[in-house]
């Protein structure tokens, strides 16, 4: 019986020793510690054949270079504009001149024209190759061109005219023009006749002061130079450099005004006259 008790005690002691050893080797969990997540399992997919080809053909550059579009033309060099001095500025500045020669190859804004008779739709007035062209295709057309910038009391005016049409026309010179009183007019026919007349605004019409014939006119299709001198009411006409007639007007007595020239047609058409220059000078 003692032997059985001893065996039971021995088994109990052995069980107690085993439990004690197990408790001493294990570490209890820390309740404050955070558990690390378990990473998901990555599914690796083998690339397809197309993706392999695309990756080989178009590799991605890690640092692509910058590109600039080349200009089609080289940029012009920067040129610094010179600053004009006061003397140069005055020289370059163009203004209307009282006495000069108009050659009809530039700005004609200082000139105007008007019709005293005839249909404007049957005429043309234009510049061509440095000439002012009167192309008149209607009967009894009286076309006048005025220089608008100045009034003159003493002046010499001259026109260089070439007749390229019929012989029945007048080339005119005008001085002492004003809207209020009228003007003096020197008419020279391509057929050899001339007259000095006045158009009076007060009396309402043309009135002949003197007239005659001249052998100095180059008739037909030719060139003539006509010159008029106006000193107040003292008038003189030159044809191709020759003094043709002088006259003093004591009735209308126009003292000053604008200057100009003109061309007139009559019953025989067409009339084509080209004016090469118009000169304004001091007497």
DSSP string, 204-261: TEEEEEEEEE-SSS--SS-EEEEEEEEETTEEEEEETTEEEEEEE--SS----EEEEE
Q: Name the nearest CA neighbour of 281 among 175, 186, 156, 160.
A: 156
Instruction: For residue 247, count other CB atoms closer than 10 A to its CB.
Output: 15
- Distance (Å, rounded) from C-alpha 274 to C-alpha 53? 84
Architecture of domain 100-160+173-281: Sandwich (2.60)
Helix or strand holding residue 93 (H, E): none
- Distance (Å, rounded) from C-alpha 251 to C-alpha 257? 17
Q: Name the nearest CA neighbour of 173 among 67, 68, 85, 244.
A: 244
Tell me the Ramachandran region of residue 241: left when phi exceeds 0, alpha when psi lies from -120 to 50, beta otherwise: left
Query: DSSP state, 140?
Result: T
193-213 in b/e burial notation, b at 16+ Cβ within 10 A? ebbbbbbbeeeeeeeebeeee
- Distance (Å, rounded) from C-alpha 25 to C-alpha 199? 143
DSSP string, 58-76: SPPPSSPPP--PPPSSPPP
pLDDT in tens, the chain (283 residues): 545 555 555 555 555 554 454 444 444 444 444 444 444 444 444 445 444 334 433 333 333 333 332 333 344 445 455 444 444 434 344 589 999 999 999 999 999 999 999 999 999 999 999 999 999 999 999 999 999 999 999 999 999 999 999 989 999 999 999 999 999 999 999 999 999 999 999 999 999 999 999 999 999 999 999 999 999 999 999 999 999 999 999 999 999 999 999 999 999 999 999 999 999 999 9
- Distance (Å, rounded) from C-alpha 100 to C-alpha 88? 21
Say which residues have a Cβ less than 8 Å from residue 159's Cβ, sequence separation at least 6: 171, 173, 225, 226, 261, 275, 277, 278, 279
**Global pTM value:** 0.68
């Amino acid at each position: 019986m003692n032997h059985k008790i001893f065996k039971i005690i021995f088994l109990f002691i052995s069980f107690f020793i085993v439990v004690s050893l197990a408790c001493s080797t294990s570490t209890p969990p820390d309740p404050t510690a955070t558990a690390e997540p378990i990473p998901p399992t990555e599914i690796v997919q083998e690339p397809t054949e197309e993706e392999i080809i695309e990756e080989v053909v178009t590799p991605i550059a890690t640092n692509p270079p910058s590109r600039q579009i080349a200009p089609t033309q080289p940029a012009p060099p920067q040129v610094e504009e010179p600053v004009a001095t006061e003397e140069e500025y005055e020289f370059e500045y163009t203004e209307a001149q009282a006495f000069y020669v108009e050659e009809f190859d530039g700005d004609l804004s200082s000139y105007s024209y008007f019709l005293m008779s005839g249909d404007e739709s049957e005429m043309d007035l234009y510049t061509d190759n440095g000439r002012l062209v009167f192309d008149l295709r209607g009967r009894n057309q009286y076309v006048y061109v005025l220089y608008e910038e100045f009034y003159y009391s003493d002046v010499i005016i001259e026109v260089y005219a070439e007749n390229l049409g019929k012989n029945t026309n007048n080339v005119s010179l005008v001085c002492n023009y004003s809207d209020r009183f009228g003007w003096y007019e020197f008419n020279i026919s391509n057929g050899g006749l001339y007259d000095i007349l006045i158009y009076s605004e007060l009396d309402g019409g043309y009135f002949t002061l003197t007239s005659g014939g001249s052998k100095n006119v180059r008739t037909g299709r030719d060139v003539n130079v006509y010159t008029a001198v106006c000193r107040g009411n003292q008038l003189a006409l030159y044809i191709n450099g020759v003094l043709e007639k002088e006259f003093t007007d004591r009735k209308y007595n126009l003292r000053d005004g604008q200057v100009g020239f003109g061309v007139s047609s009559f019953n025989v058409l067409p009339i084509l006259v080209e004016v090469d220059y118009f000169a304004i000078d001091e007497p």
